[in-house]
Amino acid sequence: MGLELIVMTSLVLLWMAKTTSAGLNVSLAKEGCQAWCGGIRIPYPFGIGANCYINAMYSVECRRDKLYLTLLTGIKLEVLNMSVDSFAQFNGFAQVNNPILSRSCPGGNGSSDVVHGNTIVDLTGSPFTFSERSNVFISVGCNNHASVTNLVDRTTAQCISICDGSPDRDNSCFGINCCQTTPPGNLSYHLRVFNVNLSRIETYNQSGGVHEPCMYAFLVDKDWFRYNLTDPFAIRGMDHVPAMLEWNLFTMEPSQLGIPKYGGGSCGKELYEPSSNIHGVYCFCYSGYEGNPYLPYGCRGTFILGSSLLYFKVHL
């Protein structure tokens, strides 16, 4: 009579779903502070009221269910989206409404010296910069010469569009009725304030081209432009388009945040603006964790529980 012993091992894994800010509707705001304005989240270090933001540069306003950045220059920018996620070079981001510049449009008698729209949005003295990698500078129109100048280091980017009377248009903007260029700016001189110039490269001819006297220019979120405007002339009648801003904790130290050391996230320091030797603080959640790293224990993640069960089968 033989003895057979069979050992079977089963590992049971219990995967606990990610405890995300979206899944459990966890607030990204400081405790006791307004967490939403309309459909826009308000993540700390931003907030409404002196006890809800980290300092005055991160103060926001909620008016008629619309969220606004309140810049020290007096300009208010409507916020379309805001995130504490590491977006580019350890920066968070904010998507805002940015003005469109137009020239020679009906209503201004078609005169070349009539300009509509705010030509300058100044982010000086704020923690925000225009994202060079996520925005694109666009000019729409016939025989346009458009330029955008970084007013900090005076670098300029420009593009030219020629005329085409074809009704078939797309948003490729490679020089036919529409052109594009990368906005000026670099790690040493971030784009905080710029000026736009629009001019004709030749006399406009109503018998040719797209029969469009207007010239348009704007800095825009390139993904929004790509996926939302199949025809660049759809910006007729629009005053603003979405643009991307980057931010971090300007001129601060990690110790000022009071973030304890824990497994979910961490804060660091980087040279934010080399030309001015200005440092900034960025925080992030580790892989597998989500939430707001700027709050104590604000990053939440996944856990795996395991157990082993042994089964014996004996034959005599």
List per-residue pLDDT tens for the chain, 316 residues long. Answer: 444 433 333 333 333 334 334 444 578 999 999 999 999 999 999 999 989 999 999 999 999 999 999 876 677 899 999 998 764 456 789 999 999 998 877 654 444 444 555 557 889 888 899 998 899 999 998 889 999 999 988 999 999 998 876 666 777 898 988 999 999 977 667 898 999 988 888 655 544 544 567 889 999 999 999 999 888 888 888 989 999 999 989 888 888 888 988 888 888 887 666 666 778 888 988 888 889 999 999 998 854 444 444 333 434 4
Q: Report residue 113 as tokens.
A: 């010296």
- Is 8 a domain residue? no
Q: Is residue 72 part of a domain?
A: no
Buried-exposed string 147-173: b where 16+ CB fall within 10 A, e elsewhere: bbbbbbeebebebebebbeeeebebeb
* Gap between the Cα atoms of 180 and 200, Å rounded: 16
Q: Using alpha carbons, select from 289, 260, 223 the residue that is nearest to residue 84.
A: 289
105 by DSSP, 3-state: which? coil
Distance CA 11, CA 20 (A): 27
Based on the fold, state whether residues 243 and 254 are members of the same structural domain. Answer: no
Q: Which of 247, 267, 295 is the last residue of a domain?
A: 247
> Pairing relation of β-strands 265-273 and 249-250?
unpaired
229 within domain boundaries: yes
Tell me, what amino acid is at 193?
Answer: V
State how many domains the chain has.
2
What is the DSSP code (8-state) at residue 222?
H
The pair of structure tokens assigned to 302 is 């996944």
93 within a domain of the structure (yes/no): no
Other residues' Cβ atoms within 10 Å of the Cβ of residue 16:
10
Domain boundary (231, 247, 263) is at 247
**Cβ-contact 107, 143 below 8 angstroms:** no
Same domain, 186 and 122: yes
State which residues form the domain around 217: 98-247
Cis preceding linkage at 45, omega within 30:
yes
Domain assignment present for 224: yes
How many whole angstroms separate alpha carbon 61 and alpha carbon 65?
Answer: 10
Same-domain check for residues 297 and 185: no
Tell me, yes or no, whether 261 and 121 share the same domain.
no
Q: Are residues 223 and 268 in the same domain?
A: no
Q: Are residues 189 and 162 part of one domain? A: yes
User: Does residue 187 sit within a domain?
Assistant: yes
Domain identity same for 205 and 299: no
Residues 219, 156, single domain; the answer is: yes
Instruction: Based on the fold, state whether residues 258 and 129 are members of the same structural domain.
Output: no
Backbone phi and psi for residue 232, each to the nearest 5 degrees, phi listed first: -60, -25
Residues 114 and 236 in one domain: yes
Q: Is the pTM of this model over 0.85?
A: no
In a shared domain, residues 158 and 266: no
Residue 261 in any domain: the answer is yes
Q: Are 206 and 124 in contact (CB under 8 A)?
A: no
**Domain membership flag for residue 116:** yes
- The verdict on 237 and 259 lying in the same domain is no
Domain-ending residue, one of 247, 268, 295: 247
> Cα–chain-centroid distance for residue 258?
26
